[in-house]
Amino acid sequence: MPPSTRRPSPPRQLNEAAQLADQLQAGYTKRDIARIINRDPSLVSQFYTKNKGAAFVPALTHVLTAVHTAGITDTNELAALAAPHITRRTTTSGNRARVRTKAVLITPTGTGTGRVGAQAIASGSTRLRPLIAEAARQNLRLAFTVRLAKTGYLHASGSRTDSPGIRRDVIQRADHTEERSYGSAATGGFDATDFARRVDAAGGDVTAAVHQWLAESGRINPDAHINHLEVRTWRPR
């Protein structure tokens, strides 16, 4: 029998959102595009793999026009331009569709942990905001660990004026950064409700709220840059 010959499948036609994203990728990454439309980068990938993104076509079109005709390149400016053009999708009945979000995991004892690295820090560590908000709702206590350049701290490692004066809460790294923990179950930690207010006052920017507290309390230089951030919660006894 002659060998069967399969015809190659025709290339898949990209939807409009993917085509617009392709044009933007001449100067921006998928992560940049996600930041502009205020969504997760995985959604941008789904423009190509799962035919999603119809709700973002007006915003992406507006952004592309701003880039090509007005010469606007800053992602924050483009995000501000895109925001009014992003609408929530609707169900068949015409109601707004619910947006699936990641659950905030806090155990019955109140224990919860959230960590962010350099990329999330740059966008305000927003993934930590739901954890802090839920901790405030449950009247939990809160502690956090920051990592920044050694030169950014105003007090020596283990200083009682800084963290609790306990060296085991300080981790020095080879890249000349240092991790320091603030608050613990032993010292009582911080009121999550108060911290949630700080985050709200900073427009939801957790990084800015933590930085402001550290600077105001005389622990870091005002121009110090946080590289990593961890938040921990627990229920007070």
Render pLDDT for 100-118 as a digit per residue (tens, 0 to 9): 444 567 888 888 888 888 7
Return the pLDDT at 210: 95
Angle (nearest 5°) at CA 146 between 190 and 38: 95
Render pLDDT for 49-66 as a digit per residue (tens, 0 to 9): 988 888 899 999 989 888
pTM above 0.75, yes or no: no
**How many residues are recorded in the chain?**
237
Euclidean distance between CA atoms 148 and 164, whole angstroms:
18
Euclidean distance between CA atoms 125 and 1, whole angstroms:
63
List helix spans (H) across 6-74.
16-24, 30-36, 41-49, 57-65
Burial class of residue 70 (count of CB atoms within 10 Å of its CB; 0-12, 13-18, 19+): exposed
- pLDDT level of residue 168 (50, 70, 90 thresholds): very low
Render pLDDT for 36-46 as a digit per residue (tens, 0 to 9): 998 888 889 88
pLDDT at 94 over 70: no
Q: What is the DSSP letter of 68?
A: I
Q: Which residue type does 180 have? A: R
Share of the chain above pLDDT 90, in %: 34
Return the pLDDT at 149: 92
- Encoding tokens for residue 203? 């427009």
